[in-house]
Structure 1
Amino acid sequence: MDASLILKQFQIPRNCLINRLVPKKVLYEHVSPKQRKIVQVGLNKLRWMYALRTDNTNILAYRDASCAYPVVEYFIAEIEDAQAVRELALILMQAILHPMLLFFTWGDSLQLITADYRTNQADPSKLVVEKLIQSHIYDSGDDLHAFIQKQTFHRQSLTNFKAYYESVVSNMLREKMEIRYSIKLPKTINPVMLDEQLNQIEREAEELQSRIKKADQFNIRVSLQMRLHDLKIQKQNVLKQYEQQE
């Protein structure tokens, strides 16, 4: 899948275009030996596609005590397969100091990965990735129209770069959940908060399933299974609550 053609449809201002290959040796200066091996094996190409700055977008930089968004940058990473996506994303986002929207492509698949950033308190010039946030994985047979529409430049908040980045993440998660759960979210719903709520339920469910497998006593297994059943009902109720009524 040619990610550059998809990004072109986002209608990002032409003067933001960079379209430059990033040599791996540049990344090696900012990674550990173990991370260098992951990059060597897993990353085919990294292309810096767009750099959104105040002087080419009129979007204001943002900074407060906890985070800084001086710019927003778009990158495309071509990889062999999806196995190392999260590891590579974390390495690249920590090696490149600016908030980035990172598009991974492998075979006929595409995935956008973003991050929740905060400022490094020991060195305010650096950012710390709190967590990675992943989009739906799109294949060549998928209809990308809705995804592209949600990611176009003028559909994002242009107040400042933090607001811009967060609107990209919000639109990405909205699309992901609508596909994953076959629902239509009302515009009034915050998809970031909903995603975290559902992820928390799913994490607890996974932990319970692990405990059920290890439980030796019948009564403990029954108690854990009842709690797991309650979580499934809770998740269903959350989704029903957020479904858009036709």
Structure 2
Amino acid sequence: METSDLIKILRLPQPTIINRNVPKRQFYEHLSSSKGQGLIQKDVDTVYWLSSVRPNNSGFTVTNDGETSFEEIEVFYVRVRNSDREEAIFRQINSAIPYPLIIFFDLDNRITVGVAEYSYGKAHEMGIERVVISSILSNHFMDSMLVPTKEPGTTLFEYYKGIQNRVLSVTLQANFNKSPMDIDIKGYSEILRLQSEVETLQTEVIKENQLNLRVELQLQIAEKKKLLNQLLSN
């Protein structure tokens, strides 16, 4: 996909648009490990800086609660060469660009998006708690995902949280056919953990020959499924 087409689909506000190619070598000097440099070199084709959302070009305000420090949000578009590398690429780009990021990934015209949950240290140093990579996005979904429902005084942090919620909603709908209303990234991670544990236990049931142990495993599966359904039904 051409960046100009993606910008139109996303309906990015004109004052925020940058649409500039970022040479991969510019990341190398900001990456401390050769592993990170190798990841960008091997698995990334091209990187485009689409947009920079700041108070002076968006009308959002800066969060000032002493804990979170969202002064700007950067939007990138990355063409990747291999699947299942998006989270690692997100983390490496974020280590070079220490601002909250929204990264659209393109693998053979299949678009996904990455967002993160951030934490801040005593010196307001930003760290990544979790990264979520969405399911494949439709143009219809992308048409609205960055358009804010902006109220007076909306902060950049609240805007980013709204985008997180949309990404989580579409991803859970694709993976579980359910879309909880009040899910956050922590809850999403718990859903994935429970699902993984259910799958592991189901494998153990197949391998187990003793009936009493199989019954015990089935009870564990039922309990974890119950917890999973509770999270998905909120």
- TM-score tier by shorter-chain length is 0.7 to 0.9
**Which residue number corresponds to residue 132 of structure 1?**
131
Deviation of the 1:45 alpha carbon? 0.9
Read off the aligned partner of 1:154 and give its amino acid letter: P
Aligned partner (choices 193, 196, 201) of residue 194 of structure 2: 201
> Which structure 1 residue ranges, 4+ long, deviate > 4 Å from structure 2?
209-218, 236-239
Amino acid at match of 1:52: V
Is 1:228 the counterpart of 2:221? The answer is yes
- 1:91 Cα offset (Å): 0.9
Partner of residue 165, structure 1: 160
Alignment of 1:1-246 (within 5 A): 1-2=1-2, 4-31=4-31, 32-121=33-122, 123-124=123-124, 126-138=125-137, 143-149=138-144, 151-155=145-149, 159-183=154-178, 189-192=181-184, 195-209=188-202, 219-236=212-229, 239=232, 241-242=233-234
Q: Following TM superposition, by how much is the alpha carbon of 1:11 offset from its aligned partner in structure 2, in angstroms?
A: 2.2
Equivalent residues of 2:12, 2:146 under 8 A apart: yes
Q: Deviations over 1:155-181 (max 9, x none)?
A: 366701100100011112122223333
CA distance in 1, matches of 2:59, 2:110: 33
For residues 129-182 of structure 1, the C-alpha deviation after alignment (integer angstroms, 9 at most, x for no partner) is 1110121123xxxx4213422x14233667011001000111121222233333
For residues 10 and 45 of structure 1, the distance between their equivalents in structure 2, rounded to whole angstroms, comes to 19
Whichever residue aligns with residue 167 of structure 1, its letter is G
Residues 184, 95 of structure 1: CA spacing in aligned structure 2 closer, same or farther, 3 A cutoff? Answer: closer
What value does the CA root-mean-square deviation take over the aligned residues? Answer: 2.7
**1:211 shift after superposition:** 5.8
Aligned residue pairs total: 231
Q: Deviations over 1:209-243 (max 9, x none)?
A: 4665787865434312321133235434654x45x
Residue deviations 1:191-214 (CA, integer Å, cap 9, x gap): 327634533421432453466578
How far apart, CA to CA, are the structure 1 residues paired with 2:134 and 2:150? 17
Gaps of 5+ in 2: none
**Structure-2 change in CA distance of 1:135 and 1:4 (3 Å):** farther
Greater alpha carbon shift after TM alignment, 103-112 vs 202-211: 202-211
| CA shift digits 1:92-151 (9 cap, x unpaired) | 112211111001101021110000011134x53x3111110121123xxxx4213422x1
Deviates more, 1:56-65 or 1:9-18: 56-65
Cα distance change, pair 235–44 in 1 and its aligned pair in 2 (3 A): same
Paired with 2:99 and 2:218, the residues of 1 have a C-alpha distance of 45
Change (3 A) 1:33 1:210: farther
The verdict on how the C-alpha distance between 1:83 and 1:180 changes in structure 2, with shifts beyond 3 A counting, is closer
